[in-house]
C-alpha cells in the first residue's frame, strides 16, 4: 500500500497547486473591470438570448467557485463572486456555465453521455474504494478477496471514465464562451486574455482529476494482476 500513498501524496500536491493557482488567477482577474460594465448575470443572460434559449434561469448560489449548470432544473448557478461582479473573471465563468446550457439545448453528445452516467457513477464512487480496500484485506485470507477487489476496480473505473468524459464537455463549454465573447465584442483585448487564462486554469483542475483517477486505477489494477 506504500505505492498508493505515494501516488495519493503526489496527486494531492499537484491538485493543491492547480487549485491555488486557479484561485489566485480568479482573484487577479477579478480586478480587471469590464469596460461594458456588465455583471456575470447579465453576461449569462445575454449569451442565452443570443443563442435563442429562453427556458434557462440565471440564479445566485452561495460560496466561491461553486458555479455550475443544473440540467434538471435548467438553471445557471453563479457564485456570489460572479453573479453581481463586473470583471473579466466573472465574465469568463458566467459565459462558461452558459456554454453548458447551450450544450444541453443543442444535445451535445458528450454532455448527454456524461448525464447518462451520473446515476451509475454516483453509486460507484460512493462504494468503490471501500470495496477495493475490503478486497485487499481479504486477499491474504481468502480467494474471494481477488474477486471483491476486481469488483471494486470496475466500480472505480466507472468514475475514471466519467472524469475523462468530463474533459471534452468542459473544454467545449470554454471554447463556446470565448468564441461568443470575442464575436460579440463583449470584452477588450486585455479582458479577453484574462478570461481565457482564467478558463485555462479552471480546465486544468479537471485534467488533474482525470489523470489522478487513471493513475490510481492502474495502481489497483497492477495489484490485482500481481505486478505490484
Name the residues annotated as catalytic. 97
- Cell numbers that stand for 184 in this block: 460579440
Q: Among residues 208, 220, 218, which one has the least CA distance to residue 130?
A: 220
Residues in the chain: 228
Is residue 85 within 8 Å of 39, Cβ to Cβ? Answer: yes
Q: Among residues 151, 148, 203, 132, which one has the least CA distance to residue 173?
A: 203
Is residue 77 within 8 Å of 56, Cβ to Cβ? Answer: no
Q: Among residues 38, 72, 40, which one has the least CA distance to residue 59?
A: 40
Helix/strand number for the chain, H first, E second: 7, 3
Is residue 71 within 8 Å of 43, Cβ to Cβ? Answer: no
First to last CA, the chain: 9
Amino acid at each position: 500500500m506504500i505505492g498508493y500513498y505515494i501516488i495519493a501524496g503526489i496527486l494531492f500536491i499537484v491538485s493543491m497547486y492547480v487549485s491555488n493557482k486557479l484561485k489566485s488567477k480568479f482573484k487577479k482577474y477579478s480586478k480587471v473591470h469590464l469596460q461594458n460594465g456588465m455583471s456575470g448575470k447579465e453576461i449569462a443572460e445575454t449569451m442565452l438570448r443570443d443563442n435563442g434559449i429562453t427556458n434557462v434561469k440565471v440564479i445566485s448560489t452561495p460560496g466561491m467557485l461553486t458555479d455550475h449548470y443544473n440540467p434538471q432544473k435548467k438553471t445557471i448557478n453563479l457564485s456570489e463572486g460572479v453573479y453581481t461582479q463586473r470583471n473579466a473573471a466573472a465574465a469568463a465563468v458566467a459565459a462558461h456555465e452558459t456554454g453548458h446550457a447551450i450544450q444541453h439545448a443543442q444535445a451535445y453528445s458528450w454532455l448527454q453521455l456524461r448525464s447518462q452516467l451520473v446515476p451509475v457513477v454516483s453509486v460507484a464512487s460512493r462504494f468503490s474504494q471501500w470495496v477495493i480496500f475490503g478486497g485487499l484485506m481479504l486477499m491474504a485470507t481468502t480467494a474471494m478477496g481477488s474477486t471483491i477487489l476486481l469488483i471494486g476496480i470496475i466500480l472505480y473505473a466507472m468514475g475514471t471514465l466519467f472524469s475523462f468524459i468530463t474533459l471534452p464537455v468542459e473544454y467545449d463549454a470554454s471554447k463556446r464562451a470565448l468564441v461568443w465573447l470575442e464575436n460579440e465584442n463583449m470584452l477588450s483585448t486585455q479582458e479577453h486574455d484574462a478570461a481565457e487564462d482564467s478558463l485555462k486554469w479552471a480546465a486544468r483542475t479537471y485534467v488533474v482529476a482525470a489523470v489522478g483517477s487513471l493513475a490510481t486505477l492502474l495502481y489497483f489494477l497492477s495489484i490485482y494482476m500481481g505486478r505490484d
